[in-house]
Chains A and B, each alone.
Chain A
Amino acid sequence: MVQSIVLLNRLLEVAQQIDINKYNNYLVLGYFVMWAIVIVYILLLANKQRNVREDLQLMTELLREDEQREEA
C-alpha cells in the first residue's frame, strides 16, 4: 500500500515537471523581433542623419558659391 502511494506520488511529480526548453522557439522569436525593431530604428536614424548631413553640405556650398559670385 505504502509502496503504491510512493510510486503514485513519484509519477505525479514526473508528470508535473515541464520541459523548460519546450517553448524556446518563442523565446528566440521574441528576442529576434525586439532586436529587429531596435535595428530598424537605428538604421532609420542613421539614414536620416546621412541625408541631413548631405543637405547641410549642399546648402553650405550653395551659400559659399553665391558669396564668391557676389564678391567677383
Chain B
Amino acid sequence: MVKRLEGAGNVLNWVVAITLVISLFMVFFFAPDERTMGNVQRIFYFHVGAAWVAAVTFLIALIAGVSYLRNPTNNKDTIALASVEIGVIFTSMTIVAGSVWGRPAWGTWWIWTPRLTSITVLWLVYMAYFMLRGAVEDEERKMRYAAVYVIIAFVTVVMTYISIRLLRDIHPVVFGGVAESAQGADEGLQDIARGLDSAKMGMTLTASVITFSLVYLAWLANRLKLQRIVNEVAELKLRVMARLEE
C-alpha cells in the first residue's frame, strides 16, 4: 500500500492543484455572502476544512501507532510520523485562521476559552512528539515510544472536539448539538453555524474538506518517499562507517 501511495505521488500533486483551484473558486465566487459577518466569513471554509483533516491525520497516526505495537515495521512508524507532521501543519493553519477571523468577530485576536485552550494543548502535545523522537537515539525504542505517545496524544483531539459541546464557549458549533449546560455556545455569532443551512455553503465546505484530504494524501505520499531516501542514506552511512573502521 505504501509503495502504491508513493507511486501515486505525482498524480496526486496534480489532482491537488486542480481541486485547490476549484475549492478557492467556490470559496470566493460560489459561496453566498454571510449576512452578519460579510466576506470575512469565507475564512471559515479553509479553517474548518483544515481542522477536520488535522483530526483525521491524528486518527491515522493513532491507528498506525496501534498497528506498530502489534506488528512493528518501519513503514507504520513513518506513516505515524508523517501524519503527525502534516496534522501539526493543518492545526497551525486552523489556529492562525481562527485567530484572524476572531479579531473582527469577537473583537480580539485570542481569548482563553475551552476550545482555544484545548487546541493549544493539542498543538503543544503533538509538537512534543517530535522532541520525544529527537531525544531517543536507539531506533527501535524511539519508534516504540513514539507509537505509545501518539496513542495517548489523541486524547487531546477528543478533548478539543467535545470542549465546545460540553462547556460554555463563544466558539461556533458547526456540526451536532451542544449540551444544555453549554447553551451559551448557541448565542450571538453562532448564527454563522445556522448559515450552513444554505446548500451552497455546505457544498463549499464539503469541497474544502475533500481538497484538504487530498492535500494530506499528496503530502503523505511525498513524505513517505522522502523517508525512504532518508532510510537508504542511513543504511549507506552505516556501511561507509563499517568500511572505514576495517
Interface residues of A (CB under 8 A from B): 18-24, 26-27, 29-31, 33-34, 37-38, 41, 45, 48-49, 52-53, 55-56, 59-60, 62-63, 66
Contact = CB atoms under 8 A, between A and B. Distances in A.
Interface in B89-133: 89, 92-93, 96-97, 100-101, 103-104
A51 B40 CA distance: 40
Contacts of B226: 45, 48-49, 52
Interface of B: 33, 35-40, 42-43, 46-47, 50, 89, 92-93, 96-97, 100-101, 103-104, 222-223, 226, 229-230, 232-233, 236-237, 239-240, 243
Contacts of B236: 56, 59-60, 63
Nearest to A40: B89
Contact of A20 (B38, B96, B104, B223): B38
A63 B232 CA distance: 13
B97 A21 contact: no
A52 B237 CA distance: 12
A24 B40 contact: yes
Contacts of B100: 26, 29-30, 33
B89 A19 contact: no
29 contacts: A18-B35, A20-B39, A21-B39, A22-B38, A22-B40, A22-B104, A23-B37, A23-B39, A24-B38, A24-B39, A24-B40, A26-B103, A27-B39, A27-B42, A30-B46, A30-B47, A30-B100, A30-B101, A31-B43, A34-B96, A34-B97, A37-B89, A45-B222, A49-B229, A55-B233, A56-B232, A59-B239, A63-B236, A66-B240
B50 A34 contact: yes
Taking chain B's interface residues, is the majority helix, strand, or loop, or is none over half, making it mixed? Answer: helix
B217 to A, nearest CB: 15
A63 to B, nearest CB: 6
A33 B96 contact: yes
A52 B226 CA distance: 8
A62 B222 CA distance: 27
A33 B39 contact: no
Given A27-B42, A30-B43, A30-B96, 6 more contacts: A30-B47, A37-B93, A55-B237, A56-B236, A63-B236, A63-B243
Given A30-B97, A63-B240, A52 B39 contact: no
A59 B38 CA distance: 57
Q: Name the 5 nearest CB pairs between A and B, nearest first.
A: A20-B38, A23-B40, A59-B236, A30-B100, A23-B104
Contacts of A66: 240, 243
